[in-house]
Structure 1
Amino acid sequence: MATWLLLCCLIASSLAAAAAAAGDGGNQVYIVYMGAVPQRASPNLLQESHLRLVSTVLKRGRRAGSVVVRQYKHGFSGFAARLSEVEAAALRRKPGVVSVFADPVYHLHTTRSWDFLQQAAVKIDAAARRRGAHKPAAAAADPSSSSPDTIIGLLDSGIWPESPSFNDAGFGPVPGRWKGVCMAGDDFNSSNCNRKLIGARYYNESDVRGPSQSGGGSPRDDVGHGTHTSSTAAGNAVAGASYYGLAAGTAKGGSASSRVAMYRVCSEEGCSGSAILAGFDDAVADGVDVLSVSLGASPYFRPDFTSDPIAIGSFHAVAKGVTVVCSAGNSGPAAATVVNAAPWILTVAATTIDRDFESDVVLGGNSSAVRGGAINFSNLDKSPKYPLIDGAAAKESSVSDAESASHCEPGTLDSGKVQGKIVLCNHSEGDTSKVVKADELQSAGAVGAIFVNDAERSVATTYLDFPVTEVTSAAAAAIHKYIASASQPVATITPTATVTEYKPAPVVAYFSSRGPSAQTGNVLKPDVAAPGVNILASWIPTSSSSLPAGQKAASQFKLVSGTSMACPHVAGAAATVKAWNPTWSPAAIRSAIMTTGNNNLHLRT
């Protein structure tokens, strides 16, 4: 089923792309990559040469200035232009052109973690502050002087500047070597940047793809992803952080003394290759030290390195001394699904940490509680008094597929049989999502749900006020045994509690893409793994309709999982290494991180 759904999605994407091209007279955006910037070539001369080149292939009446939508002139040479297939083919034959390819759309790879890592960065940051690296402005040292003052750039969905993670209290002046800008846009102006968030750019995709693929007219994050990754990499220490009381503690980034620069290249619809390349090009010119890139292509779309915007942009960034850290992708556990596997990229897989979010099933009679996990704010009675039924027993009479009913697939259950009950449901890869199933059960009148899922149990799905927990198949066996033995089986679901010192940990997350890479089979990928499951970090405000009962204000933090969350952990570590070894190359920094990592924490149960 999963393969069929993937095929349908790929077909739909192809049809959408074809429709978009047809709507523009058969033209679409192509990226023309021309390699490194020639020596002694100024940006202005390079731009003029791009226009002259494209004008040689255009049909009569088409002007170069109207078809070129982006130009790359700092870290590498190239441009993006709206062309026909014939024009693109003609450009491929031109001297100096490395590759010409259709503008692809990539996607985002969607507190306790740094304590768990026992990262030396925390100690180094503390030492940096004691040594006056970030004195108040009135007493700040010369910003051009040597200090552990690194800049982490992120290609992502934007940033929420009001988050306390980006407060600039205690920071000195912006480093004199910084050449970036704070672009004004919708609900965002230059005053939103400060001595912590020192730069912000956005790339308005409406210029390239039209409103449906717009990246937003502002660096402001309306997705949440970029805010989360930025605070994970370099967020200030914020005491009292939690997700409505869960995972409570001090949230901090891996390199809290680093400055942050955001390059908004993504929206909820995706991240265009032309914008990704623009982000790389600007970041190199602006002066970032480390780039964190938590996005990528599908593992089933395998462009060669000269047709992959991330491979191209990162290659030239590394050549300019910028360490590039990328997420490995969320297409595991199948083999050969890793993306962002170019040898010069530091590719990061995701692991669990020693924290879990426990929500147990309490059965009637003298049965022991069954351990489960999810994020819910259950208001059920603590005593087991709610009727318990499994999905197969609640099957709608007109449904012939008992297996689908046992998985609580939408439309398979009799609402009269689930009304007022807790429903036990199987769940497998390829099923309707658990959140959708939970919504269907709640609409049908169920008071709670238990999902049986071995693979995804480690990732705490959020269900808010509807009492849902997830159990392993071994735990489910005890529940089934109780249902079979009791004349009137009853249960309750406890509200989620935070559990620390959970073992075994770390464990590679089920979703984390695995190697080897089909493109670099002789180079092991991913390079390292870092915390990427149930990571607490800053988030954008949410609407009142999505708040748990009794909460008056949205949480400033959220628990999220993905290799997207693992990537900024390593970016923070890279910034720390760079801070105290400013002459080290990206290769040296990558080597230091890979050769000092370990995997022997909290392994025994």
Structure 2
Amino acid sequence: MNPFMDMKRYSYCLNAMLFQFFLFVLLSLLSEGIESDTTVYIVYMGAPGNKNEDPVSDHLELISSITASKKPHSQGLLVRSYMNGFSGFAARLTAQHAAAMAKQPQVVSVFVDPFLQLHTTRSWDFLQEHTELEPYSDMDSDSGSRNNTNTIIGLLDTGVWPESPSFDDMDMGAIPARWKGVCMEGKDFNSSYCNRKLIGARYYKDNSPSVAWTAQDTPRDTLGHGTHTSSTAAGSLVAGANYYGLAAGIAKGGSPTSRLAVYKVCTEEGCKGSAILAAFDDAIGDGVDILSLSLGASPFFKPDFVNDPIAIGAFHATQHGILVVCSAGNGGPDSSSVVNSAPWILTVAATTIDRDFESDLVLGSGGSTTTKTIKGEAINFSNLNKSPVYPLIYGGTAGSNSSSQDEASNCNPGSLDGEKIKGKIVLCQHTDQGYSKKEKMNGVKSLGGFGVALVDNEERYVAFDYDTFPATALSSASAKEVLSHINSTRNPVATILPTVAVTKFKPAPTVAYFSSRGPSTDTKNILKPDVAAPGVNILAAYIPTSGSSVPPGQSPSQFNLLSGTSMACPHVSGIAALIKSKHPTWSPSAIRSAIMTTATETDNSKAQMTTDSGSSATPYDYGTGEVNPTGALQPGLIYETSGEDYFFFLCNYGYNSSSIKIISGKTGNYTCPSNSSIESISDLNYPSIAIVNLDNKSGKTVKRTVTNVGIDMETIYTATVKAPKGLDVKVSPDRLQFTETSKSLSYQVTFASSGSSIKKDAFGSITWSNGKHSVKTTFVVSVS
């Protein structure tokens, strides 16, 4: 179930009164001097200025100087100002005025306010069982933070449904005194909805007086996405959670005792960049510890860092000690589709868990008691006879006179002959994805078909919700068996069974087909995504609104099963909050390092992780591996990346010194190193290593520094290298001796080709171990 699937189909027809109202507003704006060809632009001005200054007045003065407007505020030119974590504003400008604004010395970049996308298409129990470590409910009991955590997770999403039991604040202590946020009132939402769990809620409306109030001006979630991600990150324990009987158990977030602050930046239309930047600005001022964003740009249009609201906001949040966790996007399985790939962002891919939603197709033949069961995957609450008594037909043989063979075999709407499929179960291909599975299902249903079995290798392990209609998804191998049965049986019959949840499914985790892949097109010198986490068929809180998806006789569920990197991101945010509660002084990069270096690359059958199609997976698919919640709490060693390191990254990426001075807020002269180059990005003190265009003759050497954060101050770590054939990897020194006074030590890694057998992209790892901790640094090397 995707709350955005039918978004484009909302009616925008206006009655006469609405038309007159908007005409009145338009005429009013024009009468005040707003030019009709204006567009909202974001003007980014780097680090915040002097706190004693009035940034709003400065922004109005700048707008006035460019537009020659004497009343920029009353004319609605200034949409909103940013002043807590960074400086800038959103304003209505013409293209000519925007170009002039970009030339101002205090301005870093000017870009059109973009619309970004939400990344939606037993998880905690599985993570613990998979790593075979102690239950996470006890992992921080030694510090006492389990019952007393003050960690605050901020969610930039679609809002929240505050009545959900996942946001109950029972047994939680007082709200941290450092919290400076608010609980904004809006439509169907008042301040009493916030509590000791849900401590803050904001929404974003244009500040200009010309913009009318809308029904979206509320922190309340009307889509479900934000409620789902919030409860995944930090939902309270809820016994008996289920989706109409499926996936029953205890629902819980990754950090159940953390606080939540929601920032509603997304509506049915998408996620406006100016609102995202405003939420970052507010979150920095409010005092959050972790920010979780299950949204991003399209993989087909990825803006540069200084034109990307998420990259800008995350950069300044990181400078203020806030770890920003983002979804990698749903552009998979295409390569180079990963988004949110700035090195100051923790980027999360999506994997499956060991739960399968099985809906089987049972084959038979008329007059015979012999049956054969074909495993399928789907969510349906059908009430067909469990015995195979319904005629079975292939869509390719039931086409209408006006349709092609391919259209009919795919059961495209309008391609089938109703007389041929009425009262039957139809086998349909899904190679033509111009129509959704739901559209094909509705087409079969409208013609009187009793059920549908869709052949879909890609989406086989992502259970689509078909409501009460009998439907399932089959692999192409299973479909061959079904076709053979149809062609070899005089009277083929079948039935589709209602869904049952099967646990301990193997192999798991696997990389989900939709999860965006690396390498990043921003820079291949940073491995992205960083890690992977459960993102397929995740049960979490939802908005209990009634609709066609509610099975007859049931009340709307307070939970839902959703898939996407949107669901993977808050898993990591919850883990990050746990680490922060146990190590409150750790920096964002220390927390990121702990998560990345303890991740695992094996599945529950002890084999190397694969994709959900069965092919071998690589770090371009899952980063350093599947997150390990318990291991990340005690990583042994960490890689610290400082703010200065990120400034050098920007130098190496190609930004000039003057821009970086504005971005960083540095006083005096700032000059990038004279040897700045894109290749030097590989030297960023990152928990993974990426080498691009390795020279077969000279090779490449990079440096890393690790800090001992283990209990044992006096300890020795030794390095073990796992490298593919054809690549020579040397670590120097390969032995690190830490003491009370030597907590941080450096090493170098030299990569060289040792033959012609190395592939275009070679993957491996360096693991530092002291017998108690294993610290894995994944590397990828591409040859020139």
**TM-score, structure 1 length as denominator?**
0.90
Cα-to-partner distance string for 1:32-55 (whole Å, 9 max, x where unaligned): 0000012x423x612221111111
d(CA) in 2 for partners of 1:435 and 1:171? 43
Q: Which amino acid aligns with 2:66?
A: V
**1:370 paired residue among 369, 374, 380:** 374
Paired position in structure 2 for 1:442 = 445
1:472 is aligned to 2:465: no
Contact 1:506/1:599 (<8 A) preserved: no
1:313 partner SS? helix
Cα distance 1:210–1:445, how it changes in 2: closer, same or farther (>3 A)? farther
Paired position in structure 1 for 2:600 = 598
Q: Which amino acid aligns with 1:501?
A: K
Paired position in structure 2 for 1:87 = 97
d(CA) in 1 for partners of 2:143 and 2:106? 50
Paired position in structure 2 for 1:262 = 262
**1:422 paired residue among 403, 409, 425:** 425
Cα distance 1:215–1:524, how it changes in 2: closer, same or farther (>3 A)? farther
Q: How do residues 556-571 of structure 1 correspond to structure 2 at under 5 angstroms?
A: 556-571=558-573
d(CA) in 2 for partners of 1:500 and 1:241? 16
Q: Which amino acid aligns with 1:335?
A: S
Cα distance 1:86–1:587, how it changes in 2: closer, same or farther (>3 A)? same
Cα-to-partner distance string for 1:145-164 (whole Å, 9 max, x where unaligned): xx532000000000000000
Paired position in structure 1 for 2:388 = 384
Paired position in structure 2 for 1:98 = 108
1:603 partner SS? coil
Cα-to-partner distance string for 1:469-490 (whole Å, 9 max, x where unaligned): 0000000000000000111110
Cα distance 1:234–1:60, how it changes in 2: closer, same or farther (>3 A)? closer
Q: Which amino acid aligns with 1:46?
A: P
- Unaligned 5+ residue runs, structure 1? 1-7, 10-19, 136-146
Paired position in structure 2 for 1:542 = 545
Contact 2:140/2:582 (<8 A) preserved: no
Contact 1:157/1:221 (<8 A) preserved: yes
- Unaligned 5+ residue runs, structure 2? 1-7, 10-25, 608-784
Contact 1:125/1:255 (<8 A) preserved: no
d(CA) in 1 for partners of 2:228 and 2:170? 20
Return 518-527 or 362-371, whichever deviates more. Answer: 362-371
Cα distance 1:124–1:350, how it changes in 2: closer, same or farther (>3 A)? closer
d(CA) in 2 for partners of 1:477 and 1:123? 43
1:360 is aligned to 2:360: yes
Contact 1:69/1:208 (<8 A) preserved: no
Cα distance 1:429–1:277, how it changes in 2: closer, same or farther (>3 A)? farther
d(CA) in 2 for partners of 1:208 and 1:543? 36
Paired position in structure 1 for 2:338 = 338
Q: How far is 1:207 from its partner?
A: 5.8
1:278 is aligned to 2:278: yes
Q: Which amino acid aligns with 1:256?
A: P
Determine which structure has the larger helix proportion and give its number.
Answer: 1
Contact 1:299/1:338 (<8 A) preserved: yes
Cα distance 1:231–1:60, how it changes in 2: closer, same or farther (>3 A)? closer
Q: Over aligned residue pairs, what C-alpha RMSD do you find? A: 2.4
Contact 1:57/1:90 (<8 A) preserved: yes
d(CA) in 1 for partners of 2:481 and 2:606? 24
Fraction of identical pairs, as percent: 58
Paired position in structure 2 for 1:29 = 40
d(CA) in 1 for partners of 2:583 and 2:510? 31
1:191 is aligned to 2:192: yes
Contact 2:468/2:549 (<8 A) preserved: no
Paired position in structure 2 for 1:200 = 201
Q: Which amino acid aligns with 1:509?
A: A
d(CA) in 1 for partners of 2:299 and 2:140? 41
d(CA) in 2 for partners of 1:443 and 1:105? 36
Paired position in structure 1 for 2:169 = 168
Q: How do residues 31-110 of structure 1 correspond to structure 2 at under 5 angstroms?
A: 31-38=42-49, 40-42=50-52, 45-60=54-69, 63-64=72-73, 66-110=76-120
d(CA) in 2 for partners of 1:558 and 1:49? 47
Q: Segments of 4+ in structure 1 off by > 3 A?
A: 20-24, 59-62, 119-135, 205-212
d(CA) in 2 for partners of 1:417 and 1:47? 68
Q: Which amino acid aligns with 2:358?
A: E
d(CA) in 2 for partners of 1:406 and 1:599? 39
Contact 2:64/2:70 (<8 A) preserved: no
1:276 partner SS? helix
**2:502 paired residue among 484, 499, 502:** 499
d(CA) in 2 for partners of 1:230 and 1:363? 42
Q: Which amino acid aligns with 1:149?
A: N
1:287 is aligned to 2:296: no
Cα distance 1:543–1:584, how it changes in 2: closer, same or farther (>3 A)? same
Cα-to-partner distance string for 1:214-239 (whole Å, 9 max, x where unaligned): 68110000000000000000001111
Paired position in structure 1 for 2:776 = none
Q: Which amino acid aligns with 2:37?
A: G
d(CA) in 2 for partners of 1:520 and 1:340? 12
Cα distance 1:127–1:476, how it changes in 2: closer, same or farther (>3 A)? closer
Contact 1:356/1:500 (<8 A) preserved: yes
d(CA) in 1 for partners of 2:440 and 2:344? 42
2:117 partner SS? strand
d(CA) in 2 for partners of 1:241 and 1:572? 19
Q: How do residues 126-141 of structure 1 correspond to structure 2 at under 5 angstroms?
A: 126=138
Cα distance 1:583–1:251, how it changes in 2: closer, same or farther (>3 A)? same
Cα-to-partner distance string for 1:111-162 (whole Å, 9 max, x where unaligned): x000011189995655667976587xxxxxxxxxxx5320000000000000
Q: How far is 1:371 from its partner?
A: 0.5
Contact 2:514/2:564 (<8 A) preserved: yes
Contact 2:280/2:314 (<8 A) preserved: yes
d(CA) in 2 for partners of 1:460 and 1:362? 18
d(CA) in 2 for partners of 1:157 and 1:270? 9
Paired position in structure 2 for 1:139 = none
Q: How far is 1:386 from its partner?
A: 0.2
Cα distance 1:543–1:362, how it changes in 2: closer, same or farther (>3 A)? same
Cα-to-partner distance string for 1:450-480 (whole Å, 9 max, x where unaligned): 0000011010000111000000000000000
Q: How far is 1:550 from its partner?
A: 2.6
